[in-house]
């Protein structure tokens, strides 16, 4: 069963990012598990509303969702099977930390080493929807054994030009 993210957030399809954020905050406050302890229905709806906000608050994800529906965004974030497979902790973290609509980010400065690499891979729509595996080779810079990255020959030192000071 497919769920319309705009209906979940109770906003129009042409809603502004600010309207989407306001609607999400209102619903998140009403449905939050701390406010509804033991209410599985409210918890499930909270998860759905959080997922809808996650998609609709990001311009790129929203455009894919508008064009392809949930098929256009499955595999983005939590995984292709269950959109909530990331766990309830991820939702709480998104709610109160890192990129939260309420501010207060506790995210570390910068991405972990290697996560800032970006590779563009063309994938047919069917593979994107149903999943596939591909081997991707990424060229990375390796420090030279001869100069240890300084650019100077072994046994010498790097010197700045006295005339131009390296400019």
Give per-residue pLDDT as tens, 93-152.
555 555 545 544 445 566 666 667 777 888 888 888 888 888 888 777 777 877 777 777
pTM, entire model: 0.45
Query: What is the pLDDT, as a whole number, of residue 24?
Result: 95
Strands (E), the chain: none
Classify burial at 73, counting beta carbons within 10 Å of its beta carbon; exposed 0-12, middle 13-18, buried 19 or more.
buried
* Domains in the chain: boundaries: 1-107+119-167
The rounded distance, in Å, linking the Cα atoms of 27 and 8 is 9
Query: What is the pLDDT, as a whole number, of residue 110?
Result: 63
- pLDDT > 90 in the chain, percent: 31
Higher-confidence residue: 92 or 126?
126
Q: In sequence order, what DSSP letters do the residues of 125-145 get, joined into one string?
A: HHHHHH--------------T
C-alpha R_g of the chain:
23
Topology of 1-107+119-167 in CATH?
Helix Hairpins (1.10.287)
Query: What is the pLDDT, as a whole number, of residue 114?
Result: 65
Query: What is the pLDDT, as a whole number, of residue 92?
Result: 61
Query: What is the pLDDT, as a whole number, of residue 113?
Result: 67
């Amino acid at each position: 069963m497919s769920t319309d993210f705009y209906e979940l957030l109770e906003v129009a399809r042409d809603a502004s990012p600010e309207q989407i954020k306001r609607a999400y905050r209102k619903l998140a406050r009403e449905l939050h598990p701390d406010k509804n302890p033991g209410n599985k229905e409210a918890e499930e709806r909270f998860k759905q509303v959080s997922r809808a906000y996650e998609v609709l608050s990001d311009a790129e994800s929203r455009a894919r969702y508008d064009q392809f529906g949930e098929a256009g965004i499955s595999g983005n974030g939590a995984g292709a099977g269950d959109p909530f497979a990331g766990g309830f902790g991820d939702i709480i973290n998104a709610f109160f930390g890192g990129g939260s609509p309420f501010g207060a980010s506790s995210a570390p400065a910068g991405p972990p080493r290697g996560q800032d690499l970006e590779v563009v891979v063309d994938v047919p729509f069917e593979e994107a929807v149903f999943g596939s595996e591909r081997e991707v080779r990424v060229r990375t810079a390796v420090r030279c054994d001869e100069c240890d990255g300084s650019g100077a020959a072994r046994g010498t030192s790097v010197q700045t030009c006295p005339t131009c000071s390296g400019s």
